[in-house]
Structure 1
């Protein structure tokens, strides 16, 4: 099923370069905004992202590929040094918290080395409502994290996560039900 969701892209095309520069300019403006410039930061995020619910909060040093493929719900929070590689859509539900140093990566590359650096693929990521992703976690392409789940700090999520569980480790495995 996830292979059907996979999209392919070629690095360095005029359109992709233009979209990437747009995102980098906006993230640079966001990251250089003053600590108390809350309205300016929110305006930049609303311009950068595809859609944003009420009350978004993102800490300093945020990065993304395109921005417009990111969709976040109400009360979204992302800690310091969050990176979202959004070559495919990243959809985040309401009341989600993302700890510091988290990477959410829709992008991947060929296993074979020939032309690996010239193109790639991307698979959407979906994060449900009331999800907490602890610090220094990595969420890989195609993962769905269902509602109310917790990803413990330092985990690497390589497969779908059901609702109401705590996952931990590398690769992340179910610790217990909530």
Structure 2
């Protein structure tokens, strides 16, 4: 019945999830993001790296981030050298997101480092970290859930949903993500 749920929405809305300094930083980022970051021409990789660094992100050399990438909180973001984040990807960095060197996050992938604790009636915000290892590939439209670590050289296939940690070199597909093989040291697939 409506109105008899044990969920305490009022308590959730009244809780303090961010400090005043964090709220101000998020406001300034949102005011700057569209005209300065999102509207920058595609080849201006250095420009977007610089903007993110100004906002506290740790961005390695040679990183390529497309202008259409949506980043919630840049100071919670670390990206290793020569990594790439493709068109329309979402880096929902309420918790920290760490992307290893030479890793690819393909177009429209979603790294979601925030959720709510469904076991409590007030559904408090949970800011859970995500870590993507070196030389990994999160393919198009894949979803990486809060608190998940993806191992070095692992592949999360297109539209896969990873809600649990993924081992080094694992090749994962589907929803939920299931291992179908591993990558050998030369990047070739071996059957599971």
3-state SS of paired residue (2:152): coil
Q: Match for 1:104 among 101, 108, 111? A: 111
1:57 corresponds in structure 2 to 64
Give TM-score, length-normalised by structure 1.
Answer: 0.85
**Offset of 1:19 from its aligned partner?**
2.2
SS at match of 1:45: helix
Correspondence for 2:23 among 17, 22, 30: 17
Could you tell me how far 1:168 is from its partner in structure 2?
A: 0.6
Q: Deviations over 1:122-154 (max 9, x none)?
A: 111111100011000110011111111111000
Match of 2:73 among 54, 66, 72: 66
- Give me the whole-angstrom Cα distance separating, in 1, the residues matched to 2:52 and 2:19: 25
Report the more deviating stretch, 39-48 or 91-100: 39-48
Question: How far apart, in 1, do the equivalents of 2:138 and 2:27 lie?
Answer: 28
State which of 146, 160, 171 in structure 1 corresponds to 2:151: 146
**Count of aligned residue pairs for this structure pair:** 168
Give the drift of 1:177: 1.6
**Residues in 1 aligned to 2:51 and 2:157: alpha-carbon distance in whole angstroms:** 30
Q: Is the 8 A contact 1:49 1:71 kept in 2?
A: no
- Say which SS state the counterpart of residue 74 (structure 2) adopts: coil
Distance in 2 of aligned mates of 1:15 and 1:27: 18
1:160 partnered with 2:131? no
Deviation at residue 39 of structure 1 after TM alignment = 3.3
Aligned equivalents of 1:36, 1:106: Cα separation in 2: 28
How far apart are residue 89 of structure 1 and its match?
Answer: 1.2
CA distance in 2, matches of 1:37, 1:129: 24
Secondary structure of the corresponding residue to residue 71 of structure 1? strand
- The equivalent residue for 1:89 is 96
2:8 corresponds in structure 1 to none
Q: Tell me how far apart the structure 2 counterparts of residues 73 and 81 of structure 1 sit (CA, whole Å).
A: 20
Larger Rg: 2
Quick check: 1:48 aligned with 2:26? no
RMSD after superposition? 2.0
Q: Which residue in the other structure is 1:27 paired with?
A: 33
Contact 1:55/1:76, CA 8 A, preserved across alignment? yes
Q: Which runs of 5+ in 1 are unaligned?
A: 1-8
Q: Whose relative contact order is higher, 1 or 2, with alpha carbons under 8 Å and at least 6 apart? A: 1
Which of 170, 174, 178 is equivalent to 2:175? 170
